[in-house]
């Protein structure tokens, strides 16, 4: 690794899409500082990736944790080229009439306010160098109703809106800001549990999710991470303010096999 290797900070990096991002960025030659509150998983992941992958405890609700993580990256490597705001939770579930305010506030602090904090600290670190890339992990739930719980969906919509707004401002400082909107991904958060039970639950819900997908399967975390890596890299040097959907055709419409019979016949007819 040379001194010129880029440096990336990734939140929620101990599992799921975050862990896939950590592995993907490290494999691409980045030096990676990643944070989470799952310390055991985070340390184990870092140990397997060598000295250029560093785990630091990072509670995305806390300003001090974000500031400390950015400062650690700057002190260790004297630069910060990319921030991936990935950390999230499914948050409070249930009917709108039954959602407690404290659980609403907690979900918003993890899913949306954390992205604001990440954007703010990234901008502060990157503006003096007049370059950098920020990628926010949003969701198809932020693009349309019906893909997630009420509060989660609202927060992800806010992430997409803030991505576009921040992109317009920070473009003048040479900083790009984009979002990735995954659909159904095989991760613990998608099952509602983060312990060893998540794989058992995934086996139960996988068939239903596959049935919704044009591609007839759920996404692998590394497929989403590949999109994040592309947006962060110079290969996407003219892309900013964009929300890239990575959903296997989920939001494109009904899978072909589920189209009404008369429409299928119409599309396959040689002439009317």
Q: How far apart are CA 243 and CA 183, in angstroms?
A: 13
Residue 129 CB neighbours (<10 A): 13
Number of H helices, E strands in the chain: 9, 7
Domain 7-268 part of CATH 3.40.50.720: yes
Q: What is the tens place of the pLDDT at every residue in 72-106?
A: 999 999 999 999 999 999 888 899 999 999 999 99
User: Mapped to the 3 state alphabet, what secondary structure does 106-156 carry?
Assistant: HHHHHHHHHHHHHHHHHHHHHCCCCCEEEEEECCHHHCCCCCCCHHHHHHH
* CA angle centred on 172, ends 169 and 173, rounded to 5°: 100
Q: What is the pLDDT of residue 70?
A: 96
**Residue-averaged pLDDT of the chain:** 90
User: Hey, what are 113's tokens?
Assistant: 């306010």
Q: How confident is the model at residue 202 (pLDDT cuts 50, 70, 90)?
A: low
Hey, where are the domains in the chain? 7-268
Q: Which carries the bigger pLDDT value, residue 188 or residue 255?
A: 255
Q: What is the tens place of the pLDDT at every residue in 22-52?
A: 999 999 999 999 999 999 999 999 999 999 9
Q: How confident is the model at residue 1 (pLDDT cuts 50, 70, 90)?
A: very low
Task: Classify 78 in phi/psi space as left (phi over 0), alpha (psi -120 to 50) or beta.
Answer: left
Q: Which of 104, 106, 152, 238 is catalytic?
A: 152
Q: Which carries the bigger pLDDT value, residue 2 or residue 193?
A: 193
Q: Can you tell me the mean pLDDT for 160-181?
A: 98
Q: Which carries the bigger pLDDT value, residue 249 or residue 120?
A: 120
What string of DSSP letters covers 177-225?
EEEEEE-SB-SGGGTT--STTHHHHHHHHHHHHHHH-TTSSPBPHHHHH
CA distances from 91 to 52, 96, 190 (A): 32, 13, 11
CA distances from 93 to 129, 140, 151, 209 (A): 42, 17, 8, 19
Q: What is the pLDDT of residue 211?
A: 72
| Inter-helix orientation angle 114-126/63-77, to 10° | 30
Q: What is the pLDDT of residue 31?
A: 97
Spatial contact of 138 and 179, defined as CB atoms under 8 Å apart: yes
Q: What is the tens place of the pLDDT at every residue in 122-147?
A: 999 999 999 999 999 999 999 999 88
User: Hey, what are 179's tokens?
Assistant: 């979002």
Residue 142: HSE in the Cβ half-sphere, 13 Å Cα cutoff = 25
Q: Which carries the bigger pLDDT value, residue 182 or residue 184?
A: 182
Q: What is the pLDDT of residue 193?
A: 59
106 is catalytic: no
pLDDT over 70 percentage in the chain: 91
What pTM value is reported for the model?
Answer: 0.90
Q: What is the pLDDT of residue 59?
A: 95
């Amino acid at each position: 690794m040379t001194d010129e290797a880029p440096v990336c900070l990734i939140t929620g990096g101990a599992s799921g899409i975050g862990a896939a991002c950590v592995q993907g960025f490290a494999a691409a030659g980045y030096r990676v500082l990643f944070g989470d509150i799952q310390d055991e998983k985070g340390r184990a992941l870092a140990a397997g990736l060598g000295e250029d992958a560093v785990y630091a405890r990072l509670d995305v609700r806390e300003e001090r944790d974000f500031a400390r993580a950015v400062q650690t990256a700057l002190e260790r490597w004297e630069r910060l080229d990319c921030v991936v705001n990935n950390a999230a939770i499914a948050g409070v579930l249930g009917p709108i009439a039954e959602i407690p305010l404290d659980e609403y506030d907690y979900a918003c602090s993890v899913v949306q306010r954390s992205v604001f904090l990440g954007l703010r600290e990234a901008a502060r670190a990157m503006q003096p160098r007049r370059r950098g890339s920020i990628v926010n992990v949003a969701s198809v739930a932020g693009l349309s109703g019906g893909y997630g719980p009420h509060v989660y969906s609202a927060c992800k919509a806010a992430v997409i809106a803030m991505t576009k707004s921040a992109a317009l401002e920070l473009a003048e400082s040479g900083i790009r800001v984009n979002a990735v909107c995954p659909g159904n991904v095989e991760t613990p958060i998608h099952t509602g549990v983060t312990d060893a039970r998540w794989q058992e639950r995934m086996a139960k819900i996988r068939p239903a999710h596959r049935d919704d997908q044009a591609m007839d399967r759920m996404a692998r975390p590394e497929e989403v991470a590949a999109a994040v890596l592309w947006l962060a890299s110079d290969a996407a040097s003219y892309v900013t303010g964009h929300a890239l959907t990575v959903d296997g055709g989920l939001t494109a419409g009904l899978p072909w096999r589920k189209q009404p019979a008369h429409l299928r016949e119409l599309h396959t007819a040689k002439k009317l």
